[in-house]
Chain A
């Protein structure tokens, strides 16, 4: 019996153990041989003999089970080990692309205004003089037209110099009240370190009944929007001039690079100019035949926001499809 237990203990693999199992527990195994002897045992001893056999069998079975569990565990362990991989070899596979930072910034801006129940509107890139200038209180020869170097076509059309013509189109197509934004590409004939012939703007327009929409409302929404975009910054409104709004203001945020101390980015003023806004000029309403209304409008350059938000040093690199820039946003 001792000897049988030893044979189980000595099996080092599951195969060896299986062999031992057959030798011990099989039909022609050692235990079967022992049980065969039972028929030769005289009557009165039979019971005790059988009990002894069963006891031994149970004991052997327990030893076997324990051995099996152990070897099985070792076997799985070995299999798992064989499948080991250095996972860190697969770091940063770079399988995903990136949204363009300008487009991602545009998305972020749109999210804000859509959440405030603004509609999104658009218009053509090739515009006529009426929508791009005339209706926006920019009559021919107005000095402010100089501010916008325009691409002209042979038939008198222009590439829109701002998203503002979408205001005009929307007002002509709809009735007040209006709450809209118009994101999109605009074009100016200017190409240097800080200018590209195409860039993106977002325009906003709110029109309500006369006396309903005020400069104080504009101040409120612009401040909230800039906090949403730039976090805890100081905001400054400066009176300014745009032909299509009056009163007009330019809005600055405290420089996010130097926190207002003064640095190269803010030209040592401590402030960064980020958008323009104002109360819609009555001449604009006249051009679209709106009466007894009031409204505010605002506009901003998306590249400027993207560059400030992500500290992108050069405007022109945004238009070169340079994957060294883009992959940073993956």
Chain B
């Protein structure tokens, strides 16, 4: 919503209010000032009256003008074609500065003396309102020859752009903003009142009639005029240019201007063809069709109230007879109807859906005034109207309740003053709880909280003392809180292991998910309106997002990318789960003297050790997954607390090529499995233990995990630790491999003797021999 200082001044006297106070007041009452443009016209630019215009003797396109500037008549050469239509113009006299290095000087143009310049709107720094020079008229104030133009405040105006919240349809007009301002500035609002001066002899009632079909839940007023030579005054053109609504058609401009000024929806129908001389009548029919109020004129469909007007019915500046319609329809019912029927709407729907001004006579009076004052138009006597009488909305309020909501004692008298100034009517104010009648233009008022908001706005948030809340302490940590701290801890460890934290959108490209054999959301549960095709579904893995990030980094010449992300993924049924996803691509460490600037690429060994620094202990087993990122011989399921909770893999070379990456490893682990579990400490032995190495020859295909499981299942009381320390394969061994295990044997209650040690070691050897045919090397 855009207003200007002088436009507001039509309704509220702002002469004693500084710009600063004005902007501050608007912000303070919730009309957020988004942008301020102040137009200033340079000094020494004055009103001139054209005395004569003659063609330049040596230049076709130039005219030599004699212009009265009050003190003198000056000869000025002018190139604009529209100078011939002009009477009053803006003259930049010698010494005027139209820019940093543009000063008007005495000049000679093709041999003719020129003492000044006739200016266009843009040369004065005003918005563009048409070709050629600026033609002045008295819409900006009485034109006094020789008067400095910057004294015409309607030209050198301040334009204020307000960011309006969705509930404030009442402020979609200059009058509405002025009304709100009057409450906070404690200044009276000037109502507009106009009595028609000269009317057509014919009464409107004699030449027209209004019919209705069904319940008409809207208010309308009609007037009719014979139109002749209407034009857009300078002031209208300028103000419409400020609000970016200046059009070529003068009638369209007048309608926009009135709607923007009064907030009333005003439409114009061309009724020139209706032969009133021969007893024909203008028949307006309003019909309710499933809540939509259709307007027909002489059976032609013309508009739907509050929704749109049919193009063919629109009057323009050349129409000789025009029927004007001011209308109001309740916004809440309107938006339901429009949405239900999926109706097409026009520009004014923005206003009607947020609540236009219901006082229709305001715009009709304004139109009458404009037509009679500035244009050669005559109105038919009388108004046809249909009033949809609504019951008054009364809200009961109490000073105490309002004060408690605000947390600041506010006097009843102050509450009454504020509400009255906002157009509310206060009833039975002597009682503790009293009623206030809501003005019709505030359809957003429903309850005491709405009223409290009005009090807060006008009383001023700055005037409310901040008070810390006294509350009851309580144990408020919960599972979500614990989870957050577990996540934070995990993130810190990932960072310590050299990974940067990533955030990517929880979307994916369905094609990629399919290509890499990841699940995707069932068709019937998918997004209807994706933002782009490469974000057209919810992700079921984070790894693809990380691969894309790694690819981008490589394009920026980064030789190594290590990223992790803890984020949400979704399964086929759109169930949500949080994953920790990691990628390590390219060089495994930075280039430095230690590796002579040639670090090796990441490998299984380094990646797994980094992972262990983040996750703690985990087991790896041959992978059971089947997504296409997996390297068939360097991938694994990750097992934490005996549960498969993720996987890690070297990136399959085909996928690596798809993303143009170097050696890359990825891992994805379900976050919930990583939340630390409660731990009870075990007793520690005070007796010495022994290390024993066992070198076994066993079939190549048997993974260590099987051997480890078997040993664990023996539950040997003295076996404290068992881990692999060497694997060896060669031709001699053929289909077998040599695997060396290190055992740590220790008893809780005594020093071991040889028997103890041997029995533990032998149990292992025997079992592995029976189970896997393992032999000692």
Majority SS at the chain A contact face: mixed
Query: Which residues of A have CB within 8 Å of B561?
Result: 321, 323
Query: Which residues of A have CB within 8 Å of B456?
Result: 215, 239, 247
Complex contact A154–B528 (CB within 8 A): yes
Within 8 A of A (CB), among B495-549: 495-507, 523-532, 535, 538, 545-546, 548-549
A250 lies within 8 A of chain B by Cβ: yes
Within 8 A of B (CB), among A66-118: 89-90, 93-100, 102-103, 107, 110, 114, 117-118
0/1 string, B475-509, CB within 8 A of A gives 1: 01110110010001001101111111111111100
- Interface residue count on the B side (C-beta < 8 Å): 101
A-B CB contacts (within 8 Å), total count:
261
Complex contact A189–B531 (CB within 8 A): yes
Q: Which residue of A lies closest to B495 (CB)?
A: A97
Q: How far is the CA of A138 from the CA of B484 in the complex (A)?
A: 30
Query: Which residues of B have CB within 8 Å of A249?
Result: 461
6 new A-B contacts at CB < 8 Å, known A179-B471, A190-B531, A279-B449: A100-B501, A211-B404, A219-B464, A219-B467, A294-B404, A321-B548
0/1 string, A226-251, CB within 8 A of B gives 1: 00000000001111110000111110
Complex contact B476–A198 (CB within 8 A): no
Partner of A239, one of B461, B556, B592: B461
Query: Which residues of A have CB within 8 Å of B457?
Result: 239, 247
A322-B556 contact given A98-B495, A189-B531, A246-B452, CB 8 Å threshold: yes
A35 lies within 8 A of chain B by Cβ: no
A120-B503 contact given A143-B166, A321-B553, CB 8 Å threshold: no
Complex contact B447–A117 (CB within 8 A): no
Q: How far is the CA of A126 from the CA of B537 in the complex (A)?
A: 13
Complex contact A281–B449 (CB within 8 A): yes
Within 8 A of B (CB), among A134-165: 140-144, 146-147, 151-155, 157, 159
Complex contact A102–B484 (CB within 8 A): no
Query: Which residues of B have CB within 8 Å of A197?
Result: 505, 507, 531, 535
How many whole Å from A271's CB to the nearest CB in chain B?
A: 9
Partner of A153, one of B461, B469, B528, B532: B528
Q: How far is the CA of A250 from the CA of B453 in the complex (A)?
A: 13
Partner of B568, one of A125, A206, A215, A216: A125
How many whole Å from A299's CB to the nearest CB in chain B?
A: 15
B314 lies within 8 A of chain A by Cβ: no
How many whole Å from A208's CB to the nearest CB in chain B?
A: 7
A267-B35 contact given A177-B472, A237-B461, CB 8 Å threshold: yes
Identify which of A122, A236, A237, A318 gathers the most chain B CB atoms within 10 Å of its CB.
Answer: A237
Complex contact A185–B568 (CB within 8 A): yes
B562 lies within 8 A of chain A by Cβ: yes
Task: Kindly specify which of B26-34, B115-123, B736-744 makes contact with the partner chain.
Answer: B26-34
Q: Which residue of B lies closest to A110 (CB)?
A: B484
A240-B500 contact given A117-B474, A120-B480, A246-B453, CB 8 Å threshold: no
Q: How far is the CA of A81 from the CA of B563 in the complex (A)?
A: 41
Q: How far is the CA of A326 from the CA of B564 in the complex (A)?
A: 12
Q: How far is the CA of A212 from the CA of B452 in the complex (A)?
A: 16
Complex contact A126–B466 (CB within 8 A): no
A54 lies within 8 A of chain B by Cβ: no
Complex contact B449–A282 (CB within 8 A): yes
A319-B570 contact given A89-B593, A143-B335, A327-B500, CB 8 Å threshold: no
How many whole Å from A132's CB to the nearest CB in chain B?
A: 15
Query: Which residues of B have CB within 8 Å of A189?
Result: 529, 531
Query: Which residues of A have CB within 8 Å of B476?
Result: 117-119, 179-180
